[in-house]
Amino acid sequence: MGWTAEDAEDFVVAYLGSNLAGQISTIATARSVTIPAPHTITKDDNTTIQVPHVLVKAGPVTYDWGPDDAPLKEGPVRDFAVEFTVTTAVRAQDTQQGLRQTLQRYEEALVDLMVADWTFGDNSVRITSNEADFTPEGTDDETKMRYQSMLLTALLRRHP
Check residue 139 and give its pLDDT. 87
Q: How far apart are the first and last CA of the chain?
A: 11
With contact defined as beta carbons under 8 Å apart, do 37 and 26 qualify?
A: no
**DSSP state, residue 60:** E
Tell me which long-range contacts 36-41 makes (C-beta under 8 A, separation of at least 24). Answer: 36/88, 36/102, 38/106, 41/13, 41/16, 41/17
Is residue 24 included in any domain, yes or no? yes
Say what the pTM is: 0.87
Is residue 68 included in any domain, yes or no? no
Is residue 69 included in any domain, yes or no? no
Check residue 8 and give its pLDDT. 93
Cα separation, 62 vs 64, whole angstroms: 7
With contact defined as beta carbons under 8 Å apart, do 153 and 85 qualify?
A: no
Taking the mean position of all CA atoms in its chain, how far away is CA 70?
32
**Alpha-helical regions (H) of 32-130:** 70-73, 96-116
Gyration radius from the chain CA atoms: 17
Is residue 107 included in any domain, yes or no? yes
User: H or E stretch including 154?
Assistant: strand 145-158
Nearest to 110 by CA among 19, 6, 14: 19
Is residue 70 included in any domain, yes or no? no
Is residue 141 included in any domain, yes or no? yes
The total of structural domains in the chain comes to 1
Cα separation, 104 vs 106, whole angstroms: 5
pLDDT (tens, 9 = 90+) of the chain, 160 residues, equals 578 899 999 999 999 999 999 999 999 999 999 999 999 999 987 767 788 999 999 998 877 766 676 666 556 678 899 999 999 988 877 766 788 899 999 999 999 999 999 899 888 898 999 889 999 999 888 888 889 999 999 999 888 7
Check residue 96 and give its pLDDT. 67
* CATH number of 16's domain: 3.30.2000
